[in-house]
Amino acid sequence: MATETIDQYELLIDGELVPAASNDTLKTLNPATEDPIGDVAAGDAEDIDRAVESASDAFPAWRDTPPQERGRVLTAIADAIRKNADRLARIETQDNGKPLSQATTDVEDCARYFEYYAGIADKIHGDSIPLTTEYVDYTLREPLGVTGQIIPWNFPISLVGRTIAPALAAGNVAVAKPAEQTPLTALEVGKLALDAGLPPGVLNVVPGFGAEAGAALASHPAVNGVSFTGSVVTGQQVAKMAVDNVTPVHLELGGKSPNVVFPDADFETAIDNTITAIFGTAAGQVCSAGSRLLVHEEIHSEFVDALTTRATELSVGPGMEDHDVGPLVSADQYDKVRKYLDIGRDEAGEPVAGGEAPERSGYFIEPTIFDHVDNDMRIAQEEIFGPVLSVIEFSDEQEALELANDVDYGLVAGIFTSDVGRAHRFARDVRAGQVYINEWFAGGVETPFGGYKQSGFGREKGLEAIRSYTQLKNVCANIDV
């Protein structure tokens, strides 16, 4: 597919589109064609400085804007995103590779985040605490100040909404650093937000490389809160940089989430959701993918046969043609997943589905299933972040739980069973931040999301995100003087 045009994109700082101080640019590609689609200003520490300064200047007025007015601005941003949904989805698909229908869903998610947190802006309040009669004591929930959002490439526009809307609703200002592979929609949303009435400097968008713009943001002494989504290794580095300034960090890292299927489950429901969980969105490049299937020995063969049939039927191709599975985001990610296909073959033998990278341009990998995997193999323990499923057999509930928990990650977990007690025992005992019962990827902007163990800490989405973006002050007054 021919590339349409190579667009020029600048940084968004203080309400202006500006080149990087260094004049450097980066090229973003369409992963379906490997062709460049945009020349994007590549920010570094100097640009992050400018953006943080602009945000700091904008903070007092935005913090003191009546909350209902902040809510109205966020509603206007949601409306603007919806009005531009088709264009934004096409940009997202070309920049990230994901199928157009998935990009359309992500754009709507972004609008939903702004809408949801718009409604919360005037409902963020503290408590009064009864002491003795000579005191009045109350709490105030206050914004952090300048917040930094380091955003990955797998859900670029959706994560703009998820990380920025609650920050702004709570009266914070923001400097967002989108991933170098997919910077376009963050800039587009930034521009729409300005047009929708967001004051200059309240949201700055500074694309650039992680080691430059990202590190400068994480280590900036005037940044008062950092939200990071990405790999464990980079998350650890970001947290170390932030802690030098005693800046609170919220880390949303990877996963190797167990999807547990019992013989009493509704078979078709379990099959449909297992396919969705690993192949159904962003070609498996999802932190909450169901990448580890634990299936009971009684139904193991029948289940894997049905899965194999379904996986083989999925169409793989360019996102703009809206296939079931698009390309991976980048050459790096493609190489990483191909390396895991080799590791998987060494550890578990030939995959029962897929296992190949089609011979053509674009970072495509077939939906792949490795059967007869042991939980201590690398393909059972490490995040592959692609369309690769590892299947592990178990014989009873206790073993299923042990296998589910025997991993460094703890982002989400799923169980398919018709036994209500078993489902809730699993939900109680599994070490994960979100549990799906007879469903995968349930929940939307309203449901708190974040990890146990190495999957991170802090919660995004829902009302919980407001806690991540505020700090609590207690005021204690003696009224008897």
Can you give the binding site for ligand NAI, defined by CB under 6 A? 150-154, 177, 179-180, 210-211, 214-215, 218, 229-231, 234, 237-238, 252-254, 287, 333, 336, 383, 385
Alpha-carbon distance 80 to 11, whole Å? 20
Binds 95, which of Mg ion, ligand NAI, none (CB < 5 to 8 A, cut-off by type)? Mg ion
**Is 110 among the residues known to form the active site?**
no
Q: Where are the alpha helices (DSSP H) in 84-122?
A: 85-96, 100-120
Residue 71 binds which of Mg ion, ligand NAI, none (CB < 5-8 A, kind-dependent): none
Q: Which is nearer to ligand NAI, 333 or 417 (CB)?
A: 333
Cα–Cα distance for residue pair 334/332, rounded to 1 Å: 5
Q: What is the DSSP letter of 321?
A: G
Q: Residue 417 binds which entry of ligand NAI, Mg ion, none, with Cβ cut-offs from 5 to 8 Å by kind?
A: none
- Give the nearest distance from C-beta 179 to ligand NAI in angstroms: 4
Q: Tell me how far, at minimum, the Cβ of 478 lies from ligand NAI, in Å.
A: 46
Range 184-209 burial, b when 16+ CB lie within 10 A, else e = bbbbbbbbbbbebebeebbbbbbbbb
Q: Indicate the residue among 223 and 401 with the shorter CB distance to ligand NAI.
A: 223
Nearer to ligand NAI, 30 or 288 (CB): 288
237 binds Mg ion (CB under 5 A): no
What's the closest the beta carbon of residue 348 comes to ligand NAI, in angstroms?
20
Tokens encoding 54: 């602009």
Q: Decide if 12 contacts 189 (C-beta within 8 A).
A: no
DSSP E strand stretches across 409-459: 409-410, 412-416, 434-437, 452-453, 456-457
Residue 97 interacts with which of ligand NAI, Mg ion, none, CB < 5 to 8 Å by class: none
Q: Of the two residues 30 and 417, which places its CB atom closer to Mg ion in the complex?
A: 30
Which of these is catalytic: 188, 252, 347, 460? Answer: 252
Task: Report in angstroms how near the CB of residue 103 gets to Mg ion at its nearest.
Answer: 12
- Strands (E) in 395-467, as ranges, are 409-410, 412-416, 434-437, 452-453, 456-457
**CA end-to-end distance (rounded Å), the chain:** 78
Q: Please state, in angstroms and rounded to a whole number, the distance separating the CA atoms of residues 237 and 240.
A: 5
The residue number with the shortest CB distance to ligand NAI is 210
Please, which residue, 228 or 370, has the CB nearer to ligand NAI?
228
Active-site hit among 287, 383, 393, 460: 287
- Smallest gap, in angstroms, from Cβ of residue 388 to ligand NAI? 12
**What sections of 244-322 are H helices per DSSP?**
267-279, 300-313
98 vs 177 by CB, closer to ligand NAI: 177
What is the nearest approach in angstroms of ligand NAI to the Cβ of residue 99? 18
Q: Which sign, positive or negative, has the C-alpha torsion 278, 280, 283, 285? A: negative
Is residue 252 among the annotated active site residues? yes
In terms of CB distance, is 31 or 230 closer to ligand NAI?
Answer: 230
Strands 173-177 and 203-205: parallel
Task: Give the whole-angstrom CA distance, residue 254 versus residue 239.
Answer: 15
At position 293, the amino acid (one-letter code) is L
Question: Closest distance between ligand NAI and the C-beta of residue 94, in Å?
Answer: 18
Instruction: Pick what 253 binds: ligand NAI, Mg ion, none; C-beta below 5 to 8 Å, kind-dependent.
Output: ligand NAI
User: Could you say which of 95, 324, 397, 460 contacts Mg ion (CB under 5 A)?
Assistant: 95
Contact track, Mg ion, 164-203, x by CB under 5 A: -----------------xx---------------------
Burial of 18 by CB count in 10 Å (0-12 exposed, 13-18 middle, 19+ buried)? middle
Q: Which does 292 bind (CB under 5 to 8 A by kind): Mg ion, ligand NAI, none?
A: none
Structure token pair of residue 302: 């029948």
Residues 279, 290: Cα–Cα separation, whole Å: 9
Q: Which of 12, 28, 124, 212 binds Mg ion (CB under 5 A)?
A: 28
C-alpha count within 13 angstroms, C-beta hemisphere, residue 382: 12
Coil vs helix vs strand at 149: strand
**Pick from ligand NAI, Mg ion, none: which does 109 bind, CB < 5 to 8 A by kind?**
none
* Nearest-approach distance from CB 96 to Mg ion, in angstroms: 6
DSSP strand pairing (292-296 vs 388-394): parallel
Residue 28 interacts with, from ligand NAI, Mg ion, none (CB under 5-8 Å by kind): Mg ion
| Contacts with 270 (C-beta within 8 Å, 6 or more apart), sequence order | 261, 303, 416, 438
257 binds Mg ion, rule: CB under 5 A: no
Positions touching Mg ion (CB under 5 A) are: 28-29, 95, 181-182
Catalytic residues: 252, 287
